Amino acid sequence: MEAQSGFAKFQNLFVTLVIPIAFVISLFVYFFVMGAPSNFQGNSSVNNPMQGNYLGMIYKGGYIVPILMTLLIIVLTFSLERYYTIKKAYGNLPPVKFVAKLKVYLAADDIKGAKAECDRVQGSVASVAKSTLDKYEQMENDKIMTKEQKILDIQKNIEEATSLELPSLEENLPALATITSLATLMGLLGTVLGMIRSFAAMANAGAPDSVALATGISEALVNTAFGIGSAALAMVAYGYFTTRIDKLTYAIDEAGYSIAQTFAAKH
């Protein structure tokens, strides 16, 4: 429990630091990499980007760009963190195979063997199964409660153990879901601001300049492309991780149901 508590504190610290660190990195890249003089005509970021220089073109997208970069870094960071966390939750054996082996142990009434298998496999499904098997043995030795009460107690234990496992699996997923919409909106905001600047500059210049207008529009649209790309990545990551968690949840439910049904059938 102490180890889990320490890991939880590390996760909370990690989540707290990701956003400011991502923002600092984004500012550094924006001003010193994308805004490097070599990316622009006349070695000055005031001028237009060099022909075909995408770093300079993205820089001209304006101050919304670092915010979009921050969102992108957050998506990548949380995706990697969720990938390794959920991979660890799957344990050393695919949940479907673990549940199948658990049923074999239960059919043979080998509770000790089932618990040993839980210790070997580890992961979220095995953790819930191990907790339920402990309750199973406790109910076997109980001489006071009725059979119905024992089954209800086992089912309650399954629900409690599951409720302890799922929050840790779903952590940071709300952030990915939020970025799915936020990145798109920030990209559109950057584009609108860029269009306003472009047309305002054209109005002040007097005679229309199609080249300058096209350049300004292309720079403004950089934000839309950046925002949609970040949102698409967040959406794919969110869908992938929720699918993986759903598979774990199904395996947990099946394992718990099998243990409860075995107790009901054998006692």
Q: What's residue 1's pLDDT?
A: 42
Highest mean pLDDT, choosing among 4-13, 39-48, 191-200, 205-214: 39-48
Q: What's residue 70's pLDDT?
A: 95
Q: Annotate 125-178 with DSSP letters as a single string.
A: HHHHHHHHHHHHHHHHH-SSS-HHHHHHHHHHHHHHHHHHHHHHHHTTHHHHHH
Tens of pLDDT, residues 182-214: 999 999 998 888 888 777 777 766 655 666 676
State yes or no: pLDDT of 13 exceeds 80: no
Higher pLDDT, 8 or 47: 47
Q: What's residue 247's pLDDT?
A: 92
Q: What's residue 65's pLDDT?
A: 92
Q: What's residue 205's pLDDT?
A: 61
At residue 190, what is the residue type? G
Q: Do the Cβ atoms of 77 and 84 come closer than 8 Å? A: no
The three-class DSSP label of residue 110 is coil
Q: Tell me the average pLDDT across 1-11.
A: 53
Q: How far apart are CA 7 and CA 121, in angstroms?
A: 20
pLDDT confidence band for 37 (50 / 70 / 90): very high
Tens of pLDDT, residues 230-244: 999 999 999 999 999
Q: Tell me the average pLDDT across 209-232.
A: 80
Q: What's residue 7's pLDDT?
A: 54
Q: Do the Cβ atoms of 49 and 56 come closer than 8 Å? A: yes
Tens of pLDDT, residues 82-128: 999 899 999 998 999 999 999 999 888 888 999 999 999 999 999 99
Q: Tell me the average pLDDT across 32-37.
A: 92
Domain ranges of the chain: 67-267
pLDDT confidence band for 169 (50 / 70 / 90): confident
State yes or no: pLDDT of 2 exceeds 50: no
